[in-house]
Amino acid sequence: MGRKQAFTKSELLDQTKRVLLEHGYEGFQLKLLSRSLVGARSTIYQYYANKEEIVAACMKRVMENVLQKASAIDDTDCMDALQSLLTIYLEEANFHQLLGDAHKVNKASSVAAADDLEFVEQAHMTLKNQLERLFVRAQEEGHFNPSIPLPAIIGVFFNLIDTPNMMNIPISQWSKLLYQMWLGGAGRH
């Protein structure tokens, strides 16, 4: 007698994310995933047909969460909005790197995977447009040093997301610290 189904779709996607973060896309295997779930491996196939579908669904779920949080930001003050976006991006910093592997997912293997990856791409463009609008406003309002090109300012902002939190402080505090260094620099003037 086999094991009973004992995990939900949400739990499956949570474990998918964990395994992806630990092993990367190339190292992700359904066998590894099933070891971390309480229930029959065949239950995975009740939700998703293959690896590509599971990975794409996981990526979509993360992007839905980020997009929901980002769209809820009050952008009245563009600098406060940029700080809030940095915090949101830091919350998913590890997964952000995996989203770079979306192109490795075989879209031809599944219509569902292709649809989820299309959502991820559209969400990415929505977030990019939101950031561009905020950066342009911030520049127009004089918040940035006019001698520094906007693409350089944006590039450094994005690199903040990959900065290791060696102090292991809560993300909200880490975000504020990184934001202060980004905006004001770390040196004395």
CATH of 52-184, one of 3.40.50.1370, 3.40.50.300, 3.40.50.620, 1.10.357.10: 1.10.357.10
Angle value at C-alpha 6, between 1 and 10, nearest 5 degrees: 150
For 81-111, how does the pLDDT look when each residue is reduced to its tens digit (9 = 90+)? 999 999 999 999 888 878 888 889 999 989 9
Q: Which two tokens stand for residue 7?
A: 């995990």
For 119-166, how does the pLDDT look when each residue is reduced to its tens digit (9 = 90+)? 999 999 999 999 999 999 999 999 999 899 999 999 999 999 989 999
How many beta carbons lie within 10 A of that of residue 124, not counting itself?
15
For 18-54, how does the pLDDT look when each residue is reduced to its tens digit (9 = 90+)? 999 999 999 999 999 999 898 878 889 899 999 999 9
Considering only the top CATH level, what class is 1-47?
mainly alpha
Parse the chain into domains and list their residue ranges: 1-47, 52-184
Q: Compute the residue count for the chain.
A: 189
Tell which residue, 28, 33, 42, has the closest CA to residue 11. Answer: 33
H or E stretch covering 28? none
